Structures are given as C-alpha cells and as structure tokens.
Amino acid sequence: MKILVTGGAGFIGSAVVRLAIARGHSIVNVDTLTYAACLENVASVGNAPGYAFEKADIRDRAAMDRILAAHDPDAVMHLAAESHVDRSIDGPSDFIETNVNGTFTLLEATRAFWQAKGRPADFRFHHISTDEVFGSLGPTGKFTEDTPYDPRSPYSASKAASDHLVRAWHETYGLPVVLTNCSNNYGPFHFPEKLIPVVILNALAGKPIPVYGKGENVRDWLYVEDHADALLTVLEKGPVGRSYNIGGENEARNIDIVRTICALLDEMQPAGAPHDRLITFVTDRPGHDLRYAIDPTRIRTELGWRPSVTLEEGLRRTVRWYLDNEAWWRPLQARQGVGQRLGVKA
C-alpha cells in the first residue's frame, strides 16, 4: 500500500514510517518540521526505495493538493499535530491552527483527491487521536469508544474538534475514514520535553526531576512501536467509519514511573547515590487530568490486536535507548522551550 503519513518526522509518526517500510509499504512522509520534528527519526529508512519526504504544512491547501496528485496514495494516516499539553496552555493558537484548521484543510484536499479518483471504496483516511478527548477519570472506570467527549485542555479540545471534523466528513461526504484514540506513548525518539525523557535525562545530568503535584496522575502507557503496529492493523483491517481505542493495559501513577526509571538507572548507570534523591515535587499543571485508562476490548476482539511489550520491559528498552543515543537527544535540548517549565500560567 502507498501511505501518505503526516507528521512522520515526529515521535509516533516516525515509528509508523519505520514499521510500514519494514512491512513493505511505500511511504510519503509529509511534515513541516516544527520544533518537535527530527528527520534523524527516519534516517534508517531515508534511502529505502518506496520512501519519499515532502516538507509541507498541512494548512497549505495548494501543497496538499500537489502532494496528493503527485504521489497518488492509497491511504492517508494523519498524525501531524501540536502535541504538548503544557505548550497548549501557554500558546493555544498554534493548536487550533494545526490541529483544527490543518485537519480541515487536509480533509478537504483528501476529499477532492478521492472524489477525482472516482471515490474508491478501499481508500482510507486514518485519523490518529488521543484518549485525552474523553476527559478525566476518577479512580475507577475506563474509556470505551462510546465514552462522551469531555476535553479539558486546549490540546485535547483541539484534538476533539479534529475528531468531530473527520466523522463529519465521513457522514456528510462519504470519505472512508477510520479513527483511533490512544493512551500515552513512550519509547525511543520521544522528544525531550515529555515526562519520560525528562526524567531519564535530568536523572543522568544529576538535575532535579520535576514531578507535577504529588505525582498521583495515572496514565495507561503504551510502547510506541506497539502503537505503530496497532495503527497499521486498524488501517488494514478496520471497517470504514469505525473508531478504536488503543491502550497499553499498563496503568501507572507518574510517581511510580519516575521511581521505576530511577531504579533502572541505578542498575544501568550507577551514579554513586540513588537517582530518586533528585525527585522534586513542583506546582501542578492547571486542569491536570487525574486518570486516563483505555478499555481495549474492541480492538482486541474485532481486530485481534493487543500490546506486546509490558511497561517494565518497555521502560527498560527506553532507558537503554537514551543511554545509547546521546547524539540524538543532546542537540534537541537546545531547542526553544525545552528544559523550561511551561504551562503554569492560568
């Protein structure tokens, strides 16, 4: 299959690109290369036959029209987005521009392309979204595909809006879409402003490890390569119009994730004193959702997919990867905003 992937120089998009190429698909990677992008993430497939890169912005209708016509894909996997909740608190407009207006522009370009081709039924527009659209859970319960939307941050509100647009383009114009809402990802190539890489890199540098509030927020962690596998499964097998929640079946409190990483570093890179001495509790994020948890029954029963990596194993692989790949993460720490506390204005 020839797949146009948006955001393929980011964290999850690059995992999709690498896996899809390994499975024999052709890829057109469309990315405007924001602060969060890194072409090194796809360097391993950069020279593969069947891989093409287009530096372009999804908000640019003329560019999207040109790229679709030039490459004639069988499917679009839409991952390009502004993705960092803390940045969305300080500067929501980029999130509305890319996640809402950009998705609208991409949908319109894709609809025109698909209609001009004679509306092929086997074409797919796969929209990749987050479980954060469902809001915050209390101590019990899980998100299903029927959980009402209740986004609570500018990021999750912009993603919720994009999900609604994608469903509307299916209902109104018949565009053959599938949607996925996934829990928190972690793993190799995770940009060093997100929790898990911040913990690893601050611990390695002997700097305070910031934990928001009391560290009691619970997330359902999914290893990024498992997410890429789930996304290709949904693309290949998911019926048109269907949405799937994707989770890792790995719920953990932030403080427990931080302590586990500290223990792994004590074992893999001993510092002479336990790394957890660096844990520092800081002011919580405004509107910080307490708990997210995915009920993965639909994807498991309908498509036979489940995660292959446990949290313990995934964190071990991730810590090893950061220890072995300083040349990747060191330059990214100089990018704008990285290493600073963001998202506390409210």
Ligand X SMILES: NC(=O)c1ccc[n+]([C@@H]2O[C@H](COP(=O)([O-])OP(=O)(O)OC[C@H]3O[C@@H](n4cnc5c(N)ncnc54)[C@H](O)[C@@H]3O)[C@@H](O)[C@H]2O)c1
Number of residues that bind ligand X (CB under 6 A): 31
User: Among 13, 197, 248, 296, which residue sits at the site for ligand X (rule: CB under 6 A)?
Assistant: 13
Q: Whole-number minimum distance, CB 125 to ligand X, in Å?
A: 14
Q: Which of 31, 57, 82, 132 is catalytic?
A: 132
Residues 6+ apart with CB under 8 A from 244: 145, 178, 179, 180, 181, 230, 234, 238, 298, 299, 302, 303
Q: Whole-number minimum distance, CB 53 to ligand X, in Å?
A: 11
3-state secondary structure of 95: helix
**329 makes contact with ligand X (CB under 6 A):** no
- Please provide the DSSP assignment of 290-322 as one string: -B--B--HHHHHHH-----S-HHHHHHHHHHHH
Q: Which of 51, 57, 155, 244 is catalytic?
A: 155
Rounded to 5°, angle at Cα 238 from 233 and 243: 105
Angle formed by the axes of helices 154-173 and 103-116, nearest 10°: 20
Question: 196-232: string of b/e by CB count within 10 Å (b at 16+)?
Answer: bbbbbbbbbeeeebbbbeebebbbbbbbbbbbbbbbb
Q: Which is nearer to ligand X, 10 or 238 (CB)?
A: 10
Stretch in the footprint of ligand X (CB under 6 A) among 163-171, 179-187, 276-284, 326-334: 179-187
Q: Which is nearer to ligand X, 91 or 274 (CB)?
A: 91
Which run of H or E residues covers position 277? none
3-state secondary structure of 211: strand
Q: Which is nearer to ligand X, 19 or 182 (CB)?
A: 182
The CA distance from 296 to 299, in Å, is 6
Q: Which is nearer to ligand X, 185 or 217 (CB)?
A: 185
Q: Whole-number minimum distance, CB 274 to ligand X, in Å?
A: 28
Q: Is 173 a catalytic residue?
A: no
Q: Which of 57, 82, 86, 131 is catalytic?
A: 131
Q: Whole-number minimum distance, CB 102 to ligand X, in Å?
A: 5
Q: Which is nearer to ligand X, 10 or 296 (CB)?
A: 10
Taking a C-beta distance cutoff of 8 angstroms, is the pair 8, 31 a contact? yes
Restricting to residues 45-84, name those near ligand X by CB under 6 A. 57-59, 79-83
Q: Is 266 a catalytic residue?
A: no
Alpha-carbon 203 to chain mean position? 24
User: Among 102, 154, 188, 238, which residue sits at the site for ligand X (rule: CB under 6 A)?
Assistant: 102
Stretch in the footprint of ligand X (CB under 6 A) among 126-134, 198-206, 312-320, 332-340: 126-134
Between the alpha carbon of residue 6 and those of residues 93, 94, 152, 325, the distances in Å are: 20, 17, 25, 25
**159 makes contact with ligand X (CB under 6 A):** yes
The CA distance from 115 to 68, in Å, is 12
**11 makes contact with ligand X (CB under 6 A):** yes
Q: Which is nearer to ligand X, 130 or 318 (CB)?
A: 130
Restricting to residues 181-200, name those near ligand X by CB under 6 A. 182, 184-185, 191
The CA distance from 269 to 228, in Å, is 29
**156 makes contact with ligand X (CB under 6 A):** no
The CA distance from 89 to 60, in Å, is 25
Q: Is 74 a catalytic residue?
A: no
Return residues touching ligand X (CB under 6 A).
6-7, 9-13, 31-34, 36-37, 57-59, 79-83, 98, 102, 128-130, 159, 182, 184-185, 191
Known catalytic residues are 131-132, 155
